[in-house]
Structure 1
Amino acid sequence: MASNLACIGLDVWRRSEFRDLVASARAEAETIAKDGEVGVHIWTDVSGARLIITTEGDLVRVVTPTFYAAPGAIISEPQAVDGGLVLAELVNQHDEVITEIACQLEELALLGNAETPITGPASIVVLGNSVQVIGQADAAVSGLVFEPTGAYAASTDAVAHLTGVVLAIEQRTVSRTGQGFTAARVQTDGFQVTLCLPTGQPELSPGDVVEVDGYVVASLPSLR
């Protein structure tokens, strides 16, 4: 099972390597929110690999890996919950609910000051901890699912299970580590996600039907 960091080419084995990675990323990061001693900073590699770094003074409190992706869904009424996560609805263009998700949100620190109701185009990134190719789509595929398994758990978590069709694939390499990863655009039930996974785990081709268990990170650019 791939770690969240490995899914975006930032796999490190030692705690000291992780500290060095975060320290160098923080020095280059964009600060998107500051409230007293607490700050939220976003570092993006040329590959699209991204770290969201939450600090308190000189201390790093939380580091969330994700990817710079184009919007593929519409988020409605995101609400912060315990554990620094967000519950939200994904809706279609007619404002009909497709599903609910639990996710990390890049702009969580900006949520409290936003005008309500909050809705808008969002990118949904799934870090593919477990990915399997289960078939090929020669035409439109029915029965695609997106199950927000962490939204209904006793302890909310930003995880989901999905099946989807691979639409496009890009191979990326992180300049800092030299590690490669795959960024795949995937059509699931009513919206698109960007699936990130270590190169070759497994090899993907357009038209593949994939089954994924992964970690969910969203971005709602209109909050910035």
Structure 2
Amino acid sequence: MVAAARSEAETIAKDGEVGVHIWTDPSGARLVITTEGDLVRVVTPTFYAAPGAVMSEPQAVDGGLVLAELVNDQDEVITEIACQLEELSLLGAAVPPIEAPVSVVVLGNAVRVTGRSDGVPPGLVFEPVGAYAASTDATAHLTGVVVAVEERTVGRTGQGFTAARVQTDGFQVTLCVPAGEPHLAAGDVVDVEGYVVGSIPSLR
């Protein structure tokens, strides 16, 4: 799978023997592939999603993580975030200060539907877990309201998954889970533990 995706991927960065390549399936499923010569070093799964937040001052740290703030229209900080970033290899060449729309994809590890909502209830949270607990994991806990759901199938493998747009504390994320794990519908209130991958298209 990775070998086939590598041959079809777009190369977004090259530094000597090290390259970063992005493969996107028609379903939106995506792999970020880091290579060194002919060897595949890192493969990060994610999803092609529309921006739902504004990221300010992303900083690369040990472990391949990016730490940043998410801000609102008044440039007020909503939350801190720790994530993998598709364009991590391009950060060094970007002209500071960096503040740009970002898509935030959460690959759900544990997702529970806790109720239903006709609007956005108060008290929604987005909390980075890994980096701020002296870990190198790009993980977060969030609660949110599902605003849209799409069922997708990966063309390469036939694997079904759900891509749900979720309103959390002041911004939107795209939550991806295997099909039916759990079944999601617009208006569901969800509690999520997941792995976070961001993308800042303007860095390319």
Q: 2:120, 2:145 within 8 Å by CA — same for their partners in 1? A: no
> How far apart, CA to CA, are the structure 2 residues paired with 1:176 and 1:140?
36
Gaps of 5+ in 1: 1-20
Q: 1:103, 1:159 within 8 Å by CA — same for their partners in 2? A: yes
Q: Does 1:136 align with 2:107?
A: no
Return the match for 2:181 from 181, 185, 201. Answer: 201
Tell me the equivalent position of 1:159.
139
Aligned 1:102-113 pairs, distance under 5 A: 102-113=82-93
> How far apart, CA to CA, are the structure 2 residues paired with 1:156 and 1:39?
22
Q: Does 1:146 align with 2:126?
A: yes
Cα deviation code 1:60-113 (max 9, x no counterpart): 110000000000000000000001110010000111101111100000000001
Superposed CA RMSD in Å reads: 0.6
> How far apart, CA to CA, are the structure 1 residues paired with 2:119 and 2:15?
50
DSSP 3-state at the match of 1:112: helix
> How far apart, CA to CA, are the structure 2 residues paired with 1:132 and 1:207?
13
Q: 1:166, 1:206 within 8 Å by CA — same for their partners in 2? A: yes
**Which one-letter code corresponds to 1:160 in the other structure?**
A
Tell me the equivalent position of 1:97.
77
**Which one-letter code corresponds to 2:126 in the other structure?**
F
DSSP 3-state at the match of 2:132: coil
Q: 1:79, 1:87 within 8 Å by CA — same for their partners in 2? A: yes
Q: Does 1:168 align with 2:141?
A: no
> How far apart, CA to CA, are the structure 2 residues paired with 1:146 and 1:138?
20
Shift of 1:42: 0.1
Cα deviation code 1:134-176 (max 9, x no counterpart): 0000233101000111231112320000000000000000111
DSSP 3-state at the match of 2:182: coil
Q: Does 1:25 align with 2:5?
A: yes
Q: Does 1:185 align with 2:165?
A: yes
Return the match for 1:40 from 20, 27, 33. Answer: 20
Q: 1:102, 1:156 within 8 Å by CA — same for their partners in 2? A: no
Give the TM-score of the pair, scaled to structure 2. Answer: 0.99
Tell me the equivalent position of 1:64.
44
Cα deviation code 1:12-40 (max 9, x no counterpart): xxxxxxxxx11000000000000110000
Q: 2:120, 2:167 within 8 Å by CA — same for their partners in 1? A: no
> How far apart, CA to CA, are the structure 2 residues paired with 1:46 and 1:64?
17
> How far apart, CA to CA, are the structure 1 residues paired with 2:67 and 2:41?
21
Runs of 4+ in structure 1 over 4 Å off: none
> How far apart, CA to CA, are the structure 2 residues paired with 1:94 and 1:23?
45
DSSP 3-state at the match of 1:222: helix
> How far apart, CA to CA, are the structure 2 residues paired with 1:101 and 1:58?
33
Count of residues in Structure 1 that have an aligned counterpart in Structure 2: 204
